Amino acid sequence: MRVAFLYNRSADDPAHNAEDEVPSRSPVVAALKRLGHNVVPIACSLDLARVRQKLLRARPDVVFNRVESLGGSDSMMAAVTLLLDAMELSYTGNSTAALLGTASKMAVKRRLLEAGLPTPGWIAAQWGVGNGEWGIVESPYNPQSNGLSPKYIIKSDLEHASFELDGASIVAGSNIDEIRDVIRQREEQTGRLHFAEEFIDGREFNISVMCEPPRVLPPSEIDFSAFPENMPRIVSHQAKWDAASFEYDNTPRQFTFPTSDARLLERLTELTEACWRLFGLTGYARVDFRCDVQGQPWILEINTNPCISPDAGFAAALEEAGLGYDGGMQLILDDALARSRKRCVSTTDVGRLQPTNVARQRIGTRVG
């Protein structure tokens, strides 16, 4: 197949750690070539008219979309899929609707609560109440919901990849005013909207899921056992991106669990599938959890465009599932094409067109 590989550069990445900004060294491109595909790398920027022209010239059968951010914000990644939708091109990963529906962590948490799914409480400006009043949004399931938690973690609302997350992100507060001041300070430092999430001091799990029907890959847990007592057990920015840091070397994943964890792992799988259905996810995604001392899992975030480098959690889960890296990349491509065929059938049903006419219209869109 002819595959357009769409990627962004570090200049358009708020964390300045673009996953595949040099296609000649991209493991995804290498895998696609090993699979026998003809790969056309296309750098993506906010100049979408130029990107469109490159796609028209490439005439891809499918687009492997690895654009993680645009214009310095992760929240802009949906602009790329909007373009691909308009061009009626098949593409990997999540749909525009899913990307937009999960762009804001706080919006995700509100929807989780409405669906009765467990997510930690949080503190933020409640713009729908009064004039920018601050308040606590508490989970009805939270055992600590009778008052402020001893600890909160300050997070960016729209940026992912542990943006600016470090030990100083964990704060203790005795009242809302103190937490509010910390949030505002972090917002002034970064120029990004932040909120405070109740910190679940316990185990951390990452669950990857892919394709349709959703296939939940083997659960992984972050091993913090090497951390000293005074170091917060979080996957910080250093743990993800700074290869010279202590955190990077001492946050390995583990896939082996005692039999006593069997019910917890089942529950994590159930919650991951529930997130897939609730947010209409497609392609592949990762759901992050913390588990408190009572064994209750809490949904932290839904990453609709997770890192898929060989050293990342998604790739590790592919290996653990026996799919292998190349096999996983092919499944992602196959899933994108299958979804495209479903759309063609739907268009045919509605417009009473023959499939060959639909295909001809798609080709005309690409080259016209």
Read off the pLDDT of residues 57-102 as tens digits, 9 standing for 90 and up: 999 999 999 998 888 788 889 999 999 999 999 999 999 999 999 9
The residue to which tokens 């497609």 are assigned: 282
- Verify cis geometry, omega within 30 degrees of 0, for the bond prior to 306: no
Residue 367 is predicted with a pLDDT of: 34
Residue 363 is predicted with a pLDDT of: 36
Residue 138 is predicted with a pLDDT of: 60
* Pair of tokens at residue 213: 């029907």
| Contact (CB, 8 A) for 64 and 32 | yes
The residue to which tokens 């995700």 are assigned: 108
pLDDT in tens, 228-246: 998 888 887 778 877 888 9
Per-residue pLDDT band at 365 (split at 50, 70, 90): very low
pTM to 2 decimals? 0.86
Per-residue pLDDT band at 176 (split at 50, 70, 90): confident
Residue 22 is predicted with a pLDDT of: 76
Of 22-26, 115-119, 307-311, the one with minimum mean pLDDT is 22-26
Helix %, strand %, coil % for the chain, to 5?
A: 40, 20, 40
Residue 368 is predicted with a pLDDT of: 35
Per-residue pLDDT band at 177 (split at 50, 70, 90): confident
Q: Is the pLDDT of residue 147 over 70?
A: no
Cα(196)–Cα(289) distance, integer angstroms: 16
Residues β-bridged to residue 303: 286
The residue to which tokens 């892919």 are assigned: 210
Residue 73 is predicted with a pLDDT of: 80
Mean pLDDT, all residues of the chain: 85
DSSP H/E element including 290:
strand 284-291
Cα(284)–Cα(216) distance, integer angstroms: 10
DSSP H/E element including 207:
strand 203-210
Residue 123 is predicted with a pLDDT of: 86
Kindly write down the DSSP assignment for every residue of 110-133, as one continuous string: HHHHHTT-----EEEEETTSTTTE
Residue 10 is predicted with a pLDDT of: 64
Q: Collect all residues with Cβ–Cβ distance below 8 Å to 350 and sequence separation of at least 6.
A: none
Of 88, 298, 307, which is closest to residue 208 (Cα–Cα)? 307
Of 59-68, 152-161, 318-327, the one with minimum mean pLDDT is 152-161
Of 126-140, 215-229, 316-330, the one with minimum mean pLDDT is 126-140
Cα(112)–Cα(25) distance, integer angstroms: 38
Of 15-29, 229-243, 294-308, 347-361, the one with minimum mean pLDDT is 347-361
Of 35-49, 110-124, 152-166, 237-251, the one with minimum mean pLDDT is 152-166
Kindly write down the DSSP assignment for every residue of 296-337, as one continuous string: -EEEEEEESS---STTSHHHHHHHHTT--HHHHHHHHHHHHH
Handedness of CA 80, 82, 84, 89 (dihedral sign): positive
Q: What angle (nearest 5°) sits at the alpha carbon of residue 95, between those of residues 91 and 97?
A: 155
Neighbours of 5 (CB within 10 A): 23
| Contact (CB, 8 A) for 190 and 137 | no
Q: Is the pLDDT of residue 146 over 80?
A: no
> Treating both helix axes as pointing N-terminal to C-terminal, what angle do 355-367 and 325-351 enclose, rounded to 10 degrees?
110
Domains (range + CATH), the chain = 2-93+326-367 (3.40.50), 121-198 (no CATH), 221-254 (no CATH)
Residues β-bridged to residue 55: none
Q: Is the pLDDT of residue 197 over 70?
A: yes
Cα(182)–Cα(154) distance, integer angstroms: 8
Q: Collect all residues with Cβ–Cβ distance below 8 Å to 103 and sequence separation of at least 6.
A: 74, 75, 78, 158
Return the biggest CA–CA distance within the chain: 66
Q: What is the mean pLDDT of residues 161-189?
A: 79
- Does 145 or 109 have the greater pLDDT score? 109
68-82, 180-194, 279-293 — most confident range: 279-293
Q: What angle (nearest 5°) sits at the alpha carbon of residue 275, between those of residues 273 and 280?
A: 100
Residue 349 is predicted with a pLDDT of: 53
Q: What is the mean pLDDT of residues 127-154?
A: 59
Residue 362 is predicted with a pLDDT of: 41
Residue 269 is predicted with a pLDDT of: 98
